[in-house]
Amino acid sequence: MEIKKITGLELNKGLNLVWEVFLQCEAFEYNRDGVREFRKFLDNKELFRIFNTYGAYIKNELVGVISIQDQQHICLLFVKKEYQNSGIGKSLFEYVMKNSPHKEITINSAISSVNIFKKLGFSVTDTEQFINEIKFIPMTFNKDRKLIQILKCRNKEIELGRHTLIMGILNVTPDSFSDGGQHQSVSEAVKHAKKMLEEGADIIDIGGESTRPGHTKITDEEEIERVVPVIKEVAKLGAIISIDTYKYTVAKAAFEAGAHILNDIWGLQYDNGEMAALVKEYDIPVIAMHNKNDKEYKEDIILSMKKFFRKTFDIANKYGIDKDTIILDPGIGFGKGIDENLEVLSRLQELRSMGRILLGCSRKRFIGTILNDIPPQKRAIGTVATTVCGIERGVDIVRVHDIVENKQAAMIADKIIRSW
């Protein structure tokens, strides 16, 4: 696909495309006077001399058009009906966004298009307006919320936002709630890591201490003995590795062995800054999970979680850690009962404004409870449901045991939700 500025005859073709798509997809929202007003807008040649208009071409066929005023306000964004839901509108938007010097980009969205623009990262900024017989919703895109983010992970990188990443769980523990004891030997662990990579895992998350309810705490030394040999061998597979620990001594040993990401169930808040200092030293991205020691919330749960994450950001800032390298995990099952878990899942989009989100619901107890107490190994389909709900609400990474099922679900959900 080629995107280029259009003028003259190509601009006329572009405006004809806009009118055609408008009649097919949006005119039903307008009364007769509203349709006439939109046609009058398209016929105003003086306006389109002021606007910058760009066309998307596939094999020399004009298939999409975007017009922007002052490099800040999108006046038109239309894609041929037969090419919709294939990423063309998103590509046009990304093109003008990258070339705009402004922090914010605005649009007056047709009522039927609001959800489409939300998927692109726009937020509603006012109530429904009715001007010159045309109904619209004012929306704004803030560039601080990046569509696509390349996150450096030491000598590797991950791309956030283009498609959902799958983090495969590798517990080298005897007592994890779902797979404890299955991958305790180095050879068994490496074999399972290789299998998950072949099935489509993007990241392998290695943990040496169970954090299930009622788990037995182990010493730092024992945890290091469990994870370091596995990290060294899994690294030979070329995998991106995260270390699941809240102990900075374990994290340091894991980084030295080749881990690329820290997955911290206490969000840098377990110690007195030692973990944060270590993260800064190794320049490691952090998955910061929300956690608490009880399940009582004296205020709105999302508000409480936001306060927790702000504390994480304050710690990170103190040690010079870039906020954009922190991925937020809502901590499903940690300091939350079934009702809190379900509420957080239904409101994930409210956390998205703070940063990228990882969701970890895999095989958890609340899924088993809802599904008539089925055992953890039979909770894959329930997990898939949470994966799809999470993607729809802005999740970029899912941490799962069952790679194939969640990978396939994510691919379909991404095609529906991320491609436009």
How far is residue 54's CA from residue 76's CA, in Å, rounded to a whole number? 10
Q: Read off the amino acid at residue 207.
A: G
pLDDT of 59: 93
pLDDT of residue 115: 83
Gap between the Cα atoms of 338 and 352, Å rounded: 22
Please indicate whether residue 364 is annotated as part of the active site: yes
Beta bridge partners of 3: 56
The CA distance from 22 to 41, in Å, is 13
For the chain, domains (ranges, CATH) are 2-142 (3.40.630.30), 149-417 (3.20.20.20)
Give me the catalytic one of 226, 399, 407, 418.
399
Of residues 192, 141, 191, the one with CA closest to residue 169: 192
Q: In the prediction, which pLDDT does 11 show? A: 96
Q: Model pTM?
A: 0.72
Spatial contact of 285 and 329, defined as CB atoms under 8 Å apart: no
Backbone angles phi, psi at 231, to 5 degrees: -60, -45
Helix (H) or strand (E) holding 234: helix 220-235
CA-closest candidate to residue 418, choices 63, 81, 90, 77:
90
| pLDDT score at 213 | 64
The whole-number pLDDT of residue 370 equals: 97
The one-letter amino acid at 12: N
The whole-angstrom separation of Cα 31 and Cα 130 is 12
- Specify burial of residue 41 (Cβ count, 10 A radius: 0-12, 13-18, 19+): middle
Distances (CA, A) of 309 to 146, 266, 351, 353, 358: 19, 10, 10, 12, 14
Q: Which of the residues 80, 364, 407, 418 is marked catalytic?
A: 364
- Which ranges in 236-364 belong to alpha helices (H)? 248-257, 274-282, 301-318, 338-346, 349-352
Distance CA 24, CA 32 (A): 15
What's at 216, amino acid-wise? T
Low-confidence residues in the chain, pLDDT < 50: none
User: Mind giving me the DSSP string for 94-106?
Assistant: HHHHHT---SEEE
Q: Is 70 exposed, middle or buried (0-12, 13-18, 19+ CB in 10 A)?
A: exposed
Would residue 118 show up in a list of annotated catalytic residues for this protein? no
117-171: per-residue pLDDT in tens?
887 878 888 889 999 888 899 999 887 666 778 899 999 999 998 899 999 999 9
The pLDDT, as a whole number, for residue 117 is: 87
- The backbone torsions φ and ψ at residue 172, rounded to the nearest 5 degrees and listed phi first, read -105, 60
